[in-house]
Homo-oligomer: A and B are copies of this chain.
Amino acid sequence: MRANHLLRFPQFAHLGRATRFVDRILAIVEHIALFEDFDRDDIGKLAAYMPCYSVPAGVELIREGDAGDFLVLLLSGSAQIVKRDHAGQNKVVATVGAGKTLGEMSMIDGKPRAASCIAQTDTMFALLDRDSLSRILTEEPELGIKFLIELVQLLAQRLRATTGQLADQLDV
> Which residues of A come within 8 Å of B, CB atoms?
83, 85-86, 104-105, 108-109, 111, 114, 137, 141, 144-145, 148-149, 151-153, 155-160, 162-163, 165-167, 169-171
Query: A167 — which chain B residues lie within 8 A by C-beta?
Result: 83
Some 10 contacts from A to B, beta carbons below 8 A apart, are: A105-B160, A108-B149, A108-B153, A109-B156, A137-B145, A144-B145, A151-B152, A152-B152, A165-B166, A166-B169
- Shortest A167–chain B CB gap in Å is 8
Indicate if the CB atoms of A111 and B149 lie closer than 8 Å: no
Q: Please give me the residue from chain B that is nearest to A133 by CB atom.
A: B149
Q: Hey, which chain B residues are within 8 Å of A171, CB to CB?
A: 85-86
Q: Is the CB of A160 within 8 A of B114?
A: yes
Decide if the interface of chain A is mainly helix, strand, loop or mixed. Answer: helix
The 3 nearest A-B residue pairs measured at CB: A105-B156, A155-B155, A148-B148
Whole-angstrom distance from the CB of A144 to the nearest CB of chain B? Answer: 7
Q: Given the known A-B contacts A114-B163, A144-B145, are A109 and B151 also in contact in the complex, defined by CB atoms under 8 Å?
A: no
B152 adjacent to A159 (CB under 8 Å): no
The smallest C-beta distance from A62 to any residue of chain B, in angstroms, reads 15
A166-B162 in contact (CB<8A) = yes
Which chain B positions have C-beta within 8 A of A169?
Answer: 166, 169-170
User: A171 to B91, alpha carbons, bound, how many Å?
Assistant: 12
Docked CA distance A111–B159 (Å)? 12
CB <8 Å contact, B166 and A159: no
